[in-house]
Every structure is written in C-alpha cells, then in structure tokens.
A and B are shown apart, each in its own frame.
Chain A
Amino acid sequence: MKDWRYLMAEQRGTLLAFGIFIVMFAIYSANHPAGFTANVVQTAANKGVLLAFVAMAQTLVVITAGIDLSVGMIFTLTNCMASWLVVGTGLETAFGALAVLGTGLACGAVNGAIVIYGRLQPIVATIATGAVFFGLALLLRPVPGGSVNEDLADFLTGRFFGVVPASLVALLVVVLVVWVPFSRSELGRAAYAAGSSETAAYMSGVPIRRGKFLAYTLAGLLASIGGLFLTFFTYTGEAAYASGNAYTLFSIAAVVLGGVSLFGGKGSAIGAIFGALAFRTIGDLLFVFDFDPLWQPLFQGVILLIAVSLGAFALFRVRNRLEWFL
C-alpha cells in the first residue's frame, strides 16, 4: 500500500469539505445578482470567517475527544467586551483588543481547568461555564449597543489591493500563528494522543493534561478572535442568546463536515475552516434563489445530513475492519 493513499484517507475530510465548499460557492456566486465580484466574495468571507474562528476553537477541543459547548458564549461575551474596550486612540484600541483576547484565553483556561483538573464531563462543564459567560455578557450589555474603533474595523473587514478580503487574510494569519505551531508542538501531539487513546497516551508518558489544557485554552482564544471580528462587522455588542447557541451548534456541524472525528484524535482545523465556510454558503444559497428565509434551517439541516452521510458511506463497503484504516 502506498503512502499517498493513506495520506489521502487522512485528508479525506478536509478534501470533502473543500469540495463541498467550492461547489456550493460556485452555485452561490453564479446565481448571485451581482455575480462573482470582489464585493460578493468579501461579504461571504466576512460572514464565513466568524464561524470559521469558532469552528477552529471547537476543533481543538474535539481533537482531545472533548466538546466545548461554551464557544458560542465566549464568542458572545468577547463581542460585548469589545464593544466597550476596542475604542479610542490606537493605543487604547490595542490594549482593548488584548484585553478581549486575554478574556477569551481565561475563559478557555477555566473550561480546561474544570474538565481536566476538576474531572467533570466536558459537556456538562461547558454548558455550565457557557451559561456563566452569557451571564457576564448580559451584565456588560443588557441592551445591544456600544461601538468599536471604526478605522480598524473597516481595515479588517475591507479588502487588500481591492480584491483580497482582509478577513480571509486575518484567518490565514491566525492559522499560521495558532494552528500550525499547535499541530507541530509536543503538547499538540499530546492533545491528539489523549483523544485517540488516553490510556495508551498515559502509558507512553505523554503530557496529556497539559496538552488538553492548552487545547481548551487556545479554543477560548480562537472564540474571542471570532468575537472581536463580530464586533468589527456589526460595530456593536449584543448579548444574543440565540446567536451564541447557534454558533456553538454550527461549530460542531462545521467540525464534523470538515472531517474532524467527534471521537477525538483525528482531523484538522483546516478541514473545520472549510467545513465552516461550506456550512455558511449552504445557508446563503437560499437567498440567491429567492426562497423564503423560513426554509433556511430546514435546508441547512438536510444538506448537513447529506454531507455527513457521504463520509459514512465508506463504512458500508467495509468487509474487513482493517480497511477502516485505508
């Protein structure tokens, strides 16, 4: 058996998500009244990266065989914080942004500490912390409002050289600064190992706890980058319960669509990003076809089911368990 076949299998999820995204986006832009223009791409990118950041956050935790149901709430909380802090002069804005990202890190670290050192189930623990984060968001923004440094916001949601969406560049930078080092680090491998087989990882002397803790903490950071960008797009902060929850659930959908195994130990943030972009495009497809927006959840759900089943079809052909690995 050649290496590349295994490599292909390893990347199957990412490739599938990429393929779905390309097809969906082609249909979308072909039917868009404005066509495939820089403007359409920019709008789509801006909407897509929000979910992409949250999905990346979810990926890190899912890799450790955990789940983070508070990512959407960290996203909401940091959005509310940013609408207070990321304003004023350049220096004030910079400190504000750092404070927001620091809060995200802290939220993630709290999740990590509770799950790893408090030994609570990730599902229960993050539902609880998610509620706390939302409570804090409500305290910060009982009613929607606030503002943001508009120069920075316009810069990061605009286009470079007139064609390249700035938000996509920002996403790429975050991938290079957070994901790439993580996936090549000792603790990143430890996170994968913990998700794959915690017993074997423990027996091999892998630093499981530190690896998992780092995964949860970075997940908080990534969710807060998403929150920051939400503020840049909307210019306001809003403690919206439904939106926070939707982001949490969509992030799980995006992660699965991107080929990350919910059992842990498998998948990459790159896959999850394409999963997120594809999922977003599916939602937008209805608008270009002039359907009633009420159809959106139904349509999104059906497409998601089909996409996830595509991955499962491979299992039907398996006669020998060894072939699972192919």
Chain B
Amino acid sequence: MALIPEDRKTEGLMLPMTVRENLSFAALDRLSKAGIIDRAAEQRLIDDMVGLLAIKTAGLDIPVGALSGGNQQKVVIAKWLMRQPRIILLNDPTRGIDVGTKQELYQLMRKLADAGAAILFYSTDYDELIGCCDRVLVLYDGAVKRELVGDAITEHSLIASALNIHDDDTRIGLGGKA
C-alpha cells in the first residue's frame, strides 16, 4: 500500500537529501540484506523507476529540492512504486505541477490501474475526476452522498452531488459497480 501525500515538500520528500536516497526510502527493507543496503540492487531499481516515470534530473546524487515541482512529485510516486503497491492512495498529486507532467501522471495512473492496482485518487479538480476515474464517490457532510460510474461522471452531476442538490436528472448510475 502506498500513500502519496498532499504536501510533497513537508510530507513526501526530504528536500536536502539526494534523489537516490529519497527514491529508496520506502523500499529500503526490500533492498537490504541483513540490514545493509545492497547498492547494486538499489541502483537497478532506481534506474528502472527513473526510466518508467521519465524523471528529469541532472543526476541521482543531487538534492531532490533542486528538481522542478513536477519531477519532485514523480520522485514521491516513484518512491512508492519501488514497492510495487497494490493499493495506491493519491492525495491531490497534481497540485502545483505543469500541464505536461500532469498528463504523464494521468497516463501512469491509467497504466497502473490497468495492471491491476487499486488507486484511490483524491482531487478537487472536476476535470481531473471526469477524465481519470472509473468511479467517483462524492462526499458531503462527512458521508458518501453519491457514487458515479462511467458516463455518469459529468461536471453537472459532480457539482450537484457535491452541493447536495437533489436533481433527478443526474440520478443515474447510482449503485453501479466499477
């Protein structure tokens, strides 16, 4: 299970530490033999991840704080993918990153979901939800108010549910499954 937190600068990354160190943190126990880190295995896995996510960095031994916001976010995600998680929790992962990187992240999420991972994606951006999700749960007043599936995920239905407006036109797909 992986958690990509909302604030990458304080919760996701150790900014002064190197890209390499940051990437390894979540998977350290898997990369270690008798408590000592296997540097060759670490390098292989890191190379894979840097390739998979196309992380743009001047090197693995530079501080992760020197990367752009988008690439920092990729490092946070890559860190967890090194564990091959089956459940991925994403808390507003596209905040403060450029459009191109956003697209890459959407595609990555699709790829992971198709490969069988369960992704819980939290977002405040309607377009993102409409474009990415198989199923959307709308919360209102501390409870799930509506579950939208497939074509039922429209801006209209999303906003109506979010504001708790009962509009029968939007009440389609209730109780569906992903």
Which residues of A line the B interface, CB within 8 A?
Answer: 1-3, 6-7, 10, 181, 184-187, 189-190, 192-193, 196-197, 199-201, 203-207, 265-266, 322, 325-326
Q: Please, what's the 1-or-0 string for B7-29, where 1 marks a CB less than 8 Å from any CB in chain A?
A: 00011111111100100111011
Q: How far is the CB of A3 from chain B (nearest CB, A)?
A: 4
Determine if B12 and A200 form an interchain contact, defined as CB atoms under 8 angstroms apart: yes
Q: Which residues of A contact B36 (CB under 8 A)?
A: 181, 184-186
Q: Which residues of A contact B35 (CB under 8 A)?
A: 185-187
For residue B113, CB closer than 8 A to chain A, the reply is no
Determine if B25 and A204 form an interchain contact, defined as CB atoms under 8 angstroms apart: yes
**Bound-complex Cα distance A326 to B66 (A):** 9
- Which of B56-64, B121-129, B157-165, B169-177 is the contact stretch? B56-64
Determine if A193 and B16 form an interchain contact, defined as CB atoms under 8 angstroms apart: no
| Most A CB within 10 A of own CB, among B15, B16, B18 | B16
Determine if A186 and B28 form an interchain contact, defined as CB atoms under 8 angstroms apart: yes
Q: Please, what's the 1-or-0 string for B36-59, where 1 marks a CB less than 8 Å from any CB in chain A?
A: 110100000000000000000011
Q: How far is the CB of B94 from chain A (nearest CB, A)?
A: 18
For residue B65, CB closer than 8 A to chain A, the reply is yes
**Bound-complex Cα distance A200 to B15 (A):** 9
Q: A203-B3, A265-B16 are in contact. Are A3 and B25 (CB under 8 A)?
A: no
Determine if B14 and A1 form an interchain contact, defined as CB atoms under 8 angstroms apart: no
Which of the residues A184, A205, A265 comes within 8 Å of B14, measured between beta carbons? A265
Q: Is the interface of A mostly helix, strand, loop or mixed?
A: helix
Q: A184-B37, A200-B10 are in contact. Are A193 and B62 (CB under 8 A)?
A: no
How extensive is the interface on chain B, given as a class?
20 to 34
**Bound-complex Cα distance A61 to B130 (A):** 49
Determine if B11 and A199 form an interchain contact, defined as CB atoms under 8 angstroms apart: yes
For residue B69, CB closer than 8 A to chain A, the reply is no
**Bound-complex Cα distance A182 to B15 (A):** 22
Determine if A186 and B14 form an interchain contact, defined as CB atoms under 8 angstroms apart: no
Q: A189-B21, A325-B63 are in contact. Are A200 and B26 (CB under 8 A)?
A: no
**Bound-complex Cα distance A200 to B9 (A):** 8
Determine if B10 and A1 form an interchain contact, defined as CB atoms under 8 angstroms apart: no
Determine if B28 and A325 form an interchain contact, defined as CB atoms under 8 angstroms apart: no
Determine if B17 and A325 form an interchain contact, defined as CB atoms under 8 angstroms apart: no
Q: Which residues of A contact B24 (CB under 8 A)?
A: 189
Which of the residues B13, B26, B39, B62 comes within 8 Å of A6, measured between beta carbons? B62
Q: Which residues of A contact B62 (CB under 8 A)?
A: 1, 3, 6, 325
Q: Which residues of B contact A265 (CB under 8 A)?
A: 14, 16-17
**Bound-complex Cα distance A90 to B28 (A):** 42
Question: Known contacts A193-B25, A206-B26, A265-B14; can you find 9 more A-B pairs with CB under 8 A?
Answer: A3-B61, A197-B10, A197-B14, A200-B14, A201-B25, A204-B12, A204-B25, A325-B66, A326-B66
The 5 closest A-B pairs by CB, nearest first: A196-B14, A3-B59, A325-B63, A204-B25, A186-B32
Q: Which residues of B contact A186 (CB under 8 A)?
A: 28-29, 31-32, 35-37
Which residues of B line the A interface, CB within 8 A?
Answer: 3, 5, 10-18, 21, 24-26, 28-29, 31-32, 35-37, 39, 58-63, 65-66, 79
Q: Which residues of B contact A326 (CB under 8 A)?
A: 66
Which of the residues B12, B14, B32, B60 comes within 8 Å of A193, measured between beta carbons? B14
Residue of A nearest to B34 (CB): A185
Determine if A200 and B59 form an interchain contact, defined as CB atoms under 8 angstroms apart: no
User: Could you write out 18 A-B pairs with CB less than 8 Å apart?
Assistant: A2-B59, A3-B61, A10-B61, A184-B37, A186-B36, A189-B21, A189-B28, A189-B37, A192-B17, A193-B17, A196-B14, A200-B11, A201-B14, A204-B25, A206-B28, A266-B16, A325-B65, A325-B66
Q: Which residues of A contact B65 (CB under 8 A)?
A: 322, 325
Q: How far is the CB of B161 from chain A (nearest CB, A)?
A: 30
**Bound-complex Cα distance A1 to B65 (A):** 14
Q: Which residues of A contact B29 (CB under 8 A)?
A: 186, 207
Q: Which residues of A contact B5 (CB under 8 A)?
A: 203
Q: Which residues of A contact B15 (CB under 8 A)?
A: 196-197
Determine if A6 and B16 form an interchain contact, defined as CB atoms under 8 angstroms apart: no
Q: Which residues of B contact A2 (CB under 8 A)?
A: 58-59
Q: Which residues of B contact A322 (CB under 8 A)?
A: 65-66
Q: Which residues of B contact A187 (CB under 8 A)?
A: 35
Q: How far is the CB of B92 from chain A (nearest CB, A)?
A: 14
